[in-house]
Structure 1
C-alpha cells in the first residue's frame, strides 16, 4: 500500500514522540543505483518492541508499507531494520555479508524507495508515518557524500536536527549495526538468535536453541563475566561464567530450550562482572505447531453470486489465537485475517475464512460458528491449486495441493481430519446435499460402515471402445469406514433403457482401507455416448450416497458410418464452400462434437441444443457459412472452417472420439468450374478413392441434400461378373458416363487382374494389375484407354482373372459391355 500526501515544501518536520528512528540513509550507493539504496530504522526503546506493519516509509511524495514477506512484524528493542527496494538480492546483495543476523532485512511493498528511488542530485526528505498519518520521524539528507558513504545519525536518542547527522566514516555505511559516527560507547555487543532444531522458526513444544554472540568492543580485558538468560521471567540459563574476554575477542554460547508457550516472548540477557553490567532485552515470536490448525474444506467454485471460502479446523488440544494469520495461494497472493487479537479457536472448533460474510445466510449458520473476514482473499484456481495457512510470524502451519477439478457449488473436503494434508487420496468432493459442510463435520469423514466407489481411480478403456467390440472398465471399491464391510452385489445399468449390462452377485468382505477392483466387460451395440449407472449394495452401509456413480462412455463409430458424398471446393462468388455427408449406419447419429479437417485446420461441430441427430440415409451439410435458404436441409458451421484449396486438398471427418470415419483427397484436376461440385458416384462402394468421384452434371451445379446427379446404382444379382449401366455412354452429359463393374469370387483372398479388351482381342484398359482382393469388389470404367483417350462406340470385353495361390485355384470370368453414343 502507498500513501500519496499533498505537496509539501519544508526542511524541518514536527514529529510525534516515537520509539522508531531513522538512523541511516544510503541515497548514493557505490553499486547499482536503486537496488543498493537503503533506509535504516532503529527501535530506541529499551523494553518495548515496535510493530513495523503499522508504518509507512518513503520520500516527501510517497510513503508505502513494508513487505514483511512472512517475517515477524516486531522489531526488538534497541535493534535495527534495514529497508531496501524490491529488487535488492538479500542473499547475494552488496550488504549481505555486512548486515548482522540480529537486524531485520526488509523491502518496501512497491518497487522503489519513495516515488522513484532516492535522488543523489536533489536533497529529499525521508519520512516515517503511522497508520493514522502522524509523522513519527523525518530527515532531509545532504548531498556532500561520496558514492558509497551514507548519512548516519550521531545520537539515536535525541532529535533529528541536521547537526545530529554526519557522513558515514566507512564505505557502504553501517547497515544493521551501530553507526560509525555514533557517540555512544558499547563495551559489550550482544547478539541473540533463536531457532528450532528442525527449521528456522521456533515452535511451541519443539526443541530450540539460543545462540548468544558476545563481542568485547572495549579496550580492556574482562574477567569472570556472568551470563544469564531469562525468558518471560523464567530462567533458561541461570548462570554461565566466561573466564576471560580480551579486547576484540568474540565468544559464543548455545543454550537449548523448549518453548512451552506460543506468541511473543521477551528474552532478558544480563552480563555482569566487577567492571561491567550489561542488560539487553530481545524479543522473539514462537509459532504454533505445524498442522495444529489444518485446512479442512475448500469451496473453489461456488454458485454464481456466492463467495469462495476456506474452512480451517483446530485438531490440537490448545486454544489458538488466529489474529493476523494469512492464507496464501500458489501465485503468492495472500489474504490477512482481520479479527481482534482475542479471537481464539478452541480444540475441535472450525473457522470459515472468506471475504464475504454472506456465507452465514447461505448455509444457515448459528451464531457460535466462526466466520472470519479475510482482507484481500486470494482468488482460487478451479484446478491444481496450492493453499498455505501461515501463522502470525509467516511460518507455514498447514498447506495443501489439490488436483481435483472443481465442480460448481461442490466443495472439496478432507476425509480424515487427522490424516495427511498432502495425500491426494485424503481429499474428495463433498457428499452433502447442500454441496458443502462449512463449520461442520465433513460429509466424507469416516463412519462405522462405508464402502465407496472410488471414482477418481477408475481405469478407463484406452483407446475408446468401438461398436460391437468388448471393452473393459476397472472400478475400485474402497472401504473408507471404520469396520469391515460386506459387498453384496454390484450392477451396471444403461440409464437410457434401465437395461442391466453387467452384474456381480457374489458377496465379498473388504477390510478397512482395502480396495476391491471390479472388472467390468461389456459390448456396446451402438456407437455414441452412453449414460451408465454403476451401483453397489452393502450390508448396513452408514453412508449410501457414495454407493452410486453416474458416468458416460463414448463409443467410437466405425469407418464409413458417415460418408463424404459431395464437395463444393470452388463455389460461385459470394457463396460458401461446403461438404455434404450421409449417414450409412443403421442408427441415428448425434453429430455434436464431431469435426471436419483438411489435415491442418480442424473445426468442431457444436450445436446450441446439445444434439443434432442425423437419421440413417439422411444427408447433412457442413458449410463455411449459413447462406442457403433450404429449411429442409440440416447444416452447421464448424468452430473453424478448413478452407478447401482449389489446387488440391484432403477432407477428413472425425467422430466425437477423434476417430477418422471417412476421408478423401483430391487434386486440382478434381476441382470443377465455379459453382460445380464434385460428387461421389456411389457412396456404398468403399476405398475407391477419386476414381469413384466426378463433376456434378445437374443444371444447378450441385445436389446438396438429395441424390447425386452421377449416382450409379449397385446391382443386386447372383451373377459372378456384373456391369451397370449396359450400355453406357461416356459423352460428358452426366448421364451414364461411367460403368460400374462388380465381381463376386468364391475365394476369400486372391490376386486379381481386370482388363478391358475390344472384339479383336486388343487390350484397351488395365483396371487391376495383380491386385490383392477379397471375395468381391466394385470399380468404375470411364470408357477411356490406358492413355486417357475415349474409345469408339462398340462392344468391349471385361476379363477377370483371379489366382488363389495358397489353394492352387485360378478363376476366369468374362462379360461384354456396350459403349454407345446417344443419337
Structure 2
C-alpha cells in the first residue's frame, strides 16, 4: 500500500512538472542573422505563466536531425521568471543585438545550433526539450526571410502553426522583448486625443477626450486616464484630473473617455497630456499622448478673393486672399491646396508674416506676375502653388492647425480665358456660383486691388430693354440692335450678351461700361452704319456703339428672336419679333428699323412696335421716331396723347390707352366706335389682364385702314367671372392731323 502511494505521488509530480514545462514556448527564431552580427543566430523563449518560475538547467535545443544542444548559464542563471523572455545565443556570440535588460540571457554548450548552424535557404524544424528530454514544443520555420529578419510568433499563447508565425518587421528582430508582430495578452492604448470643438477659437469652452482601444488578446478591466493640463504651454502642469475608472473593455473594442474637467474660456495655448493607468499593461509605448490646443480663427476670417487659373503666356497662376477681420493675422505655417485630381498641400510661408486687417495678399509662384499689371500694391508671397486645372478645380486655405479657413471649387464657365475670376461679395458664401464672375478690369485681373466686380448685382428684368431692331437694311448698309436703359439705375454692361435666334452671342463689353438712365447702346454688323447715320461719328456717341463682323450678326428678315442676358446669365429682356409688326401703311419697309413705341410696355406685344418714320430709316442712339410717352393712370382710363395724329410723320402717331380696374384679374375687351356708334376697331378681345394695363392704338381700323379725322369712343369692358363683376368704361379719343 505504501509503495502504491509513493508511485502515485511520483506520477503526479511528473505530470505537474510537465504541465509547468509547457508554459515555456518558442517566441522567436533568428536563423538568418545579418552579416553585421557574426555568430548571431538565436532562439527566444517566453514563460507564459503568471506564477511559475521555470529552471531551464538541463533543457536542450534540437535543430533538425542534429543532436540536441544543451542550454547553459551565460552569467545570469537558468531560472526563467513568470512572463519573462529568455534569449539563447550560440556559444561564441560576442554581442551586437540590443537585448531588453529584463530578459534572461543563455547560450548553448557549443558554437552552433546543430552541426554547423541553422539553414537559411531551406525550411527546417526546431525542437525544445526539457531536462527529461521530453519534446515540449516544435516549430518548422519557413526560409523566406531576408538577412537580419527573424521568424516571430504572432500570438504568444497560440499554437505553433504556420499561420501564427510571420517574418519580423524590424531588422535584427526583437530579442528579449515583445515581438514586432505580436499581440500582447494585455495591451490597451490611446489611439487619439480630441477636442470639442475640434478647432476652438478664442474664449471657447473646450472639452478634451481620448479614444482607448484594447489591442490585447484578453479583456481589460480597472483602468483610468489621467488628464494633465499645462495652461500657457510653459512646461508646468497646472491641473491633473483623473477620469472615472473603466471597469471592463473587451478585446478589440474601443471606448471614448472624456475628461471630467472642461477648459472654460480658452485664452491661450494649452497643452494637454493624457496618461493611461493600467497595471497589467504589457505595452507602455501607447499609454501616453499629448495635444497642443491653440485658440485659432473661425472659418471665413480670411477669404479667397481672386483666382487666376488660366493666365496669359508667361504669367504665373496666382491666388489673392483678403483679411476680413480687424486684426493682424500671422500666416506662418498656413497652407494652400488644390483639389483635382490629387490634392497637393504646400506651405504659404515658414516665417512670420502678419496679414494686415482689411488688406490683400497675393500668392504667386514667381514675380513675373508684375510684368502683366501696371502695379500690385499688396504684398506678394512666393508660394509654389499647385497647378490649377482650367476645366474645374479648387483652392483650399488651411491655418497652422490644419483647419480649412476658406475653400473654393470652380468650373471653367465661371470665368473666361486670360481673365481671373473675382469674388463679388466678401460676406456671401465662397462656393456660391453667383458670388464669382470673370474680372472686367482692362488688365483682365485686379491683383492687390479691390475687385472690378466688387458688389456688382444681378440686373432686374426690363432694367435694360431692346429698343430698336434693324434686321432688313438696304444693300450695303448695316444691321444693328439697340438697347435702352429705362430705369433710374446706372447699370454696368460688363459681361452682358445679346443672343440671336441662331445661337450666336455678342458680348457688349469685356470691361466695366456703365449705361446711365435714358441712355442707349448699339451693336452693329459693320462700320457702314456710320455712313447711313453720320451723327454717330460724333464723340458723344463713339463709346456707345460696338461693331461686329457682318457674318456674325445676321438677323432673319421675317421672324427671329433676340435675348439680352446680364453678366450672371440672367435674361433681362427678349423679343421674338415678326416682320408683320411693321406699319402696314408704309409700303416699303426695307431699310427701315422696327422701333419700340414705349420702353416700359410689353417687349413681345406687336402693338408696341412699328416701323421707323425717320427719314434715315432708323434712330440708333437717339429717341425713337415713334416714341410715345405713357402717363400715370390717375383715373380709371387715360388716353395720351389725345388728340393724336396717326399720319406717320413721327409726331404723336400713336396713343396709349392706360386703365385701372377694381379687380385683381379680369378678362378685358377694348373696342373703338365712330361718332354714330359703328364698330371700327377691336383692339383687345377677351384677353386676361391685371388690375392695370396699357394698350397702344395706332389709328387704324380692323382692315388696317387709317381712320378719318373725328371723335371716336373707346369702350373698355372687363369681367371677373369668379366675383361676377362687370366693368364698362367709355372715353372719347380724337383722331386729328397736323396742320401743314
Pick the TM interval, shorter chain. 0.3 to 0.5
- Which of the two has higher C-alpha Rg? 2
| Structure 1 or 2: more helix by fraction | 2
TM-score under structure 1 normalisation? 0.38
| Structure 1 or 2: more strand by fraction | 1
